[in-house]
Chain A
Amino acid sequence: MTRISVKVDGTTYEDEVEPRLLLIHYLRDRLGLTGTPIGCDTSNCGACTVDLDGETVKSCSVLAVQTDGSEVTTVQGLATNGEWHPLQTAFHERHALQCGYCTPGMIMAARGLLRENPHPSADAVRHALEGNLCRCTGYQNIVRAVLAASEASASSPASASSTASGQEVTT
């Protein structure tokens, strides 16, 4: 057992953990932070994506002991004073989720992208989210949502639909 001290979503936890314990299992099984799900066992799907000291990581690929002294942010720590993060709002408004299982990881990965590139192109969004799989949406509305959040963050009045290249035509 190894003693760790890690701040998760603003709360500091001190725990004895097995060296082999994965961060995702620590979050879910020890801290009860089940908002971050597990979608695979090969680090392909990205459902478990979290923020570790400002880096976007897949928490299935990090050991809990590696986070000693670190700060972790999960999807459950994104809202401030009850206000959703712009990405949470955009995913809701743009219908960027269906079953929602990939959504926590998708939002965390998109947050990492916007931190590095606040105004990405649609193509840049697609490539930045390559490590996050969604089986429901076909990604189009996820791209729209990330672009919309990018614009919301820049307080631009332009609507996101004007930048999304896909279109819907109804009768």
Chain B
Amino acid sequence: MSEQLTEREVGRSRPRKEDARLVTGQTNWTDNISVNGLLHLAILRSPMAHARIDRVDVAPALERPGVIAAFTGRDLSEGTASLPCAWPVTEDIVLPDHPAVAVDEVRYAGDPVAVVVARDRYAAADALEAIEVDYEPLPPVLDLEAALTDGAPLVHADKGTNRCFVWPLATGENYETVKQRADVVLHRRYLQQRLIPNAMEPRAVVVTPLPASGEYTVYSATQVPHVLRVMLSMVTGVPEQKLRVIAPDVGGGFGSKLQVYGEEVIALDVARRLGRPVKWTETRSEGYLATHHGRGQIQDIEIAATREGKLLGLKVDLLADMGAYLMLVTPGIPILGAFMYPAIYKMDAYDFTCTGVFTTRTPTDAYRGAGRPEATYAIERIMDELAVEVGLDPVELRRRNWIGHEEFPYTSISGLTYDSGNYEAATDKALALFGYDELRAEQVKRNESGDSVRLGIGVSTYTEMCGLAPSRVLRDLRYAAGGWEAASIRMLPTGKVEVVTGTSPHGQGHETCWSQIAADALGVPFEDVEVVHGDTKAAPQGMDTYGSRSLVVGGAAVHHAAQKVVAKARKVAAHLLEANEHDLEFTQGVFSVKGSPEARRTIQEVAFETFSSHDLPDGMEPTINAEHLVDPENFSYPHGTHLCAVEVDTETGRTSIRSYVCVDDVGRVINPVIVEGQVHGGLAQGIAQALYEEAVYDDEGNLVSGTMADYLVPSAPDLPEFTTGRTETPATSNPLGVKGVGEAGTIASTPAVVNAIVDALRPLGVQDIAMPCSPGRVWEALQSAQSRESGKEAQSS
């Protein structure tokens, strides 16, 4: 059998197993899938933000060449239920009906109106033009505050309000009482612009039916095949056991594929109606309308502190744009953020309220970080403002308020128990890598010289809650499902290993990392492990991949399952070696008898002996395979310190990032190069929110930034080189000591960049710039600061 390992796998920068097929083009994206007789769907979408549908006539489309069928919303509404929202955050939440294809009314530009089925994608797209629709325009609902006023036009008239829910959280002392003790009270309003997630693979779904037995296989570019299977069954009535969902190679998600989309329901329903296989693939511009957006909040934040900069209390009032309908976890996104506003700081009172608001825009839902980037942005921005107000360096202000490393475990004011962390260590390391003091000295010098290109330094010290999630906490938050994860390990007769995971990767490298975990726990070679995922027939149990949960919960499940395999194998080995199992040692895949090392069996040999089952202990079930489900006992709490230096040209408004340093503590690291890659990608998306991206709507509710030519996804020259560092404070809530890394970069970087820009321009009177801080926005902020300053001078003269 194989040679035994001399090197531990965990902690090695293994190049990824996934790469071979991806660099050679041997991939299996959903849109690559073709079967005999495949039909193509195209979807007619509303060109208006809000309108009554007076008439839809699909008959002319049926005349077009290659068209097989066409359906209106009314046609498809028979036999399918409303699209699901699994997170009704309050008991009295307004839950509107959400048909996959609109029936009487369209509520955002892009809302589906009719479906065409044709023999190829060109014919389907052509036939959409023949469909006749009469719309009666209704007023759009776009302004979150105006939407809540009496007499405002309603997105869902039958509900009588645009207010979806009000979700309060007040902890610690009474905020208003605490505020009385404060020397300094600052209030700010920050705007979280809408973002479009932009996974590089557009969404796609293929459904192949077996009409004789009523079975369906659904291939979808999804992050959540297991969730999708349950939900598709509930929405369409196809019995769950007849439904197989496969997530083939999936090209990125960032939350946008954590969803149960109308198109998935439509494809399954049409395949059922026609008894033929169908495919739908979105175009990018269609996806900009039809794939959920992220962020979209107005944040009113107030902080109360002493003149020494000691925080006393925090009050947050949030308006969160739901868009037109509630998707899978739409209302829960701002609630995930609710717990993170107090961040790493100690205080006496916290008062949070979130109001969800319907608008006539594409629904919002999870986008990388999901609620936590918004929270981190607001608290880290106002901490910088407070530092100025009390005359402290922003790093010093944070030091005075953060939880000391000796204080863990620490229960935050919002009620989370931070199990571990060391903010001092991460910050000290980041400051050293960054050259903080030198840069501050340069800044002073350049400000004195009146340099037209200003240097700014931005700080962001963050934590986040990852590893979603303890099921009882989810119950308390009114989330419909649990937060466990499953793994099973199959020891094959030849000693090779299959690790079956309920996580569903789309770029994260689970095949590599889970192999590393299993190889160490079982003492088998990395190459002997194959990871099976993303197919509800092959990996029947799982809660899928989102919220930086996969390693923390799913990786831990792999570890536990491997321990069970070893325990069973130990019994077989002891029997074969005629020894007491307590006298066996297990090292690097080898069972040996203490004191007589020549008496040995490898676990891979034991796998074969178990397969033959010729000589097992009496009464033993003939398998050493094992399964384990983990329900996490706590969230995990990565943290870190990010520092950004920008050069802002005051004549053009252009910002360039001069250096970016981050030191993240994501606990123990399975594969350092993968962790570094996750941080890079996270930084890119957080910086993109700060500088480049925004879903812009006009006054009629049309998405103006509706193509990739109009929405600025940064390319290579738009981003700097990053310097990444780590500290390692293991999580105590899972056996691997891991915390998750998928969202850290995105959460931390946005405020670091904007703090740097404001820091650069504060001497010129600028206090805030709304994101994205484009050259135009920066320039305008400078102009209005200048006219304010000259106004002041005029008054005083």
Asked whether, in the complex, the Cβ of A133 is within 8 Å of the Cβ of B681, the reply is no
Q: B200 on the interface (CB 8 Å rule)?
A: yes
Q: B31 on the interface (CB 8 Å rule)?
A: yes
Asked whether, in the complex, the Cβ of B721 is within 8 Å of the Cβ of A140, the reply is yes
Asked whether, in the complex, the Cβ of B683 is within 8 Å of the Cβ of A138, the reply is yes
1/0 contact string of A1-32 vs chain B (CB within 8 Å) = 00000000000000000101100010011001
Q: A59 on the interface (CB 8 Å rule)?
A: no
1/0 contact string of A145-171 vs chain B (CB within 8 Å) = 000000000000000000011111111
Q: Which of B410-430 contact A (CB under 8 A)?
A: 429
Most buried by A among B21, B22, B200: B200
Q: B707 on the interface (CB 8 Å rule)?
A: yes
1/0 contact string of B709-735 vs chain A (CB within 8 Å) = 100010111010111111110000000
A74 CB → nearest B CB, Å: 7
Partner of B708 from A45, A137, A167 at Cβ < 8 Å: A45
Query: Could you tell me the distance between the alpha carbons of A35 and B24 in the complex, rounded to whole angstroms?
Result: 7
Q: Given the known inter-chain contacts A135-B685, A141-B680, A166-B722, please indicate yes or no for A97 contacting B31, CB distance below 8 A.
A: no
Asked whether, in the complex, the Cβ of B725 is within 8 Å of the Cβ of A168, the reply is yes
Query: Could you tell me the distance between the alpha carbons of A160 and B539 in the complex, rounded to whole angstroms?
Result: 40
Most buried by B among A40, A164, A171: A40
Q: Given the known inter-chain contacts A75-B25, A143-B716, please indicate yes or no for A38 contacting B252, CB distance below 8 A.
A: no
1/0 contact string of A77-90 vs chain B (CB within 8 Å) = 01100001000100
Asked whether, in the complex, the Cβ of A101 is within 8 Å of the Cβ of B200, the reply is yes
Residues of A within 8 A of B717 (CB): 123, 126-127, 130
Residues of B within 8 A of A98 (CB): 252, 507-509, 677-678, 681
B593 CB → nearest A CB, Å: 39
A27 CB → nearest B CB, Å: 10
Chain B interface size band reads 35 or more
Asked whether, in the complex, the Cβ of A37 is within 8 Å of the Cβ of B251, the reply is yes
Q: B19 on the interface (CB 8 Å rule)?
A: yes
Q: A115 on the interface (CB 8 Å rule)?
A: no
Partner of A102 from B200, B249, B429, B745 at Cβ < 8 Å: B200
Query: Could you tell me the distance between the alpha carbons of A40 and B710 in the complex, rounded to whole angstroms?
Result: 12
Query: Could you tell me the distance between the alpha carbons of A45 and B26 in the complex, rounded to whole angstroms?
Result: 20
Asked whether, in the complex, the Cβ of A88 is within 8 Å of the Cβ of B23, the reply is yes
Query: Could you tell me the distance between the alpha carbons of A93 and B32 in the complex, rounded to whole angstroms?
Result: 26
Residue ID in chain A nearest B425 by CB atoms: A171
Q: Given the known inter-chain contacts A28-B32, A171-B728, please indicate yes or no for A39 contacting B200, CB distance below 8 A.
A: yes
Asked whether, in the complex, the Cβ of A127 is within 8 Å of the Cβ of B721, the reply is no
Q: B137 on the interface (CB 8 Å rule)?
A: no
Asked whether, in the complex, the Cβ of A104 is within 8 Å of the Cβ of B25, the reply is yes
Asked whether, in the complex, the Cβ of A100 is within 8 Å of the Cβ of B681, the reply is no
Residue ID in chain B nearest A87 by CB atoms: B23
Q: Given the known inter-chain contacts A44-B709, A138-B681, A170-B672, please indicate yes or no for A97 contacting B23, CB distance below 8 A.
A: yes
Asked whether, in the complex, the Cβ of B721 is within 8 Å of the Cβ of A166, the reply is yes
Asked whether, in the complex, the Cβ of B680 is within 8 Å of the Cβ of A88, the reply is no
Residue ID in chain A nearest B197 by CB atoms: A135
B784 CB → nearest A CB, Å: 33
Q: A142 on the interface (CB 8 Å rule)?
A: yes
Partner of B23 from A34, A99, A103, A138 at Cβ < 8 Å: A103
Residue ID in chain B nearest A79 by CB atoms: B24
Partner of B19 from A45, A91, A140 at Cβ < 8 Å: A91
Query: Could you tell me the distance between the alpha carbons of A32 and B34 in the complex, rounded to whole angstroms?
Result: 9
Asked whether, in the complex, the Cβ of A132 is within 8 Å of the Cβ of B19, the reply is no
Asked whether, in the complex, the Cβ of A134 is within 8 Å of the Cβ of B19, the reply is no
Asked whether, in the complex, the Cβ of B284 is within 8 Å of the Cβ of A40, the reply is yes
Q: A116 on the interface (CB 8 Å rule)?
A: no
Residue ID in chain A nearest B283 by CB atoms: A41
B284 CB → nearest A CB, Å: 4
Asked whether, in the complex, the Cβ of B726 is within 8 Å of the Cβ of A171, the reply is yes
Residue ID in chain B nearest A77 by CB atoms: B25
B178 CB → nearest A CB, Å: 38
Residues of A within 8 A of B32 (CB): 28, 34, 37
Residue ID in chain B nearest A76 by CB atoms: B25
Asked whether, in the complex, the Cβ of A131 is within 8 Å of the Cβ of B726, the reply is no
Most buried by A among B27, B723, B745: B27
Q: B2 on the interface (CB 8 Å rule)?
A: no
Residues of A within 8 A of B726 (CB): 169-171
Asked whether, in the complex, the Cβ of A99 is within 8 Å of the Cβ of B707, the reply is no
Asked whether, in the complex, the Cβ of A92 is within 8 Å of the Cβ of B20, the reply is yes
Partner of A133 from B16, B21, B121, B715 at Cβ < 8 Å: B715
Partner of B709 from A42, A104, A126 at Cβ < 8 Å: A42
Query: Could you tell me the distance between the alpha carbons of A135 and B255 in the complex, rounded to whole angstroms?
Result: 13
Partner of A41 from B19, B200, B707 at Cβ < 8 Å: B707
Asked whether, in the complex, the Cβ of B713 is within 8 Å of the Cβ of A135, the reply is yes
B565 CB → nearest A CB, Å: 30
Asked whether, in the complex, the Cβ of A95 is within 8 Å of the Cβ of B677, the reply is yes
A98 CB → nearest B CB, Å: 4
Residue ID in chain A nearest B685 by CB atoms: A135
Asked whether, in the complex, the Cβ of A129 is within 8 Å of the Cβ of B715, the reply is yes
Residues of B within 8 A of A65 (CB): none
Query: Could you tell me the distance between the alpha carbons of A8 and B663 in the complex, rounded to whole angstroms?
Result: 47
* Pairs A-B, 6 closest by C-beta atoms: A35-B25, A100-B22, A101-B251, A99-B507, A138-B684, A138-B680
Q: Which residues of A contact B (CB under 8 A)?
A: 18, 20-21, 25, 28-29, 32-42, 44-45, 47, 74-76, 78-79, 84, 88, 91-93, 95, 97-104, 107, 122-123, 125-127, 129-143, 164-171
A–B pairs, 20, beta carbons within 8 Å: A34-B27, A45-B200, A75-B24, A76-B24, A98-B507, A99-B506, A100-B21, A100-B249, A101-B251, A103-B23, A129-B715, A133-B200, A135-B199, A135-B252, A135-B254, A135-B685, A139-B684, A142-B716, A169-B663, A170-B725
A-B contact sample (14 more), CB < 8 A, given A40-B707, A93-B15, A133-B713: A25-B121, A32-B34, A41-B283, A41-B707, A44-B708, A84-B23, A101-B29, A101-B200, A101-B252, A107-B23, A132-B716, A135-B681, A135-B684, A138-B683
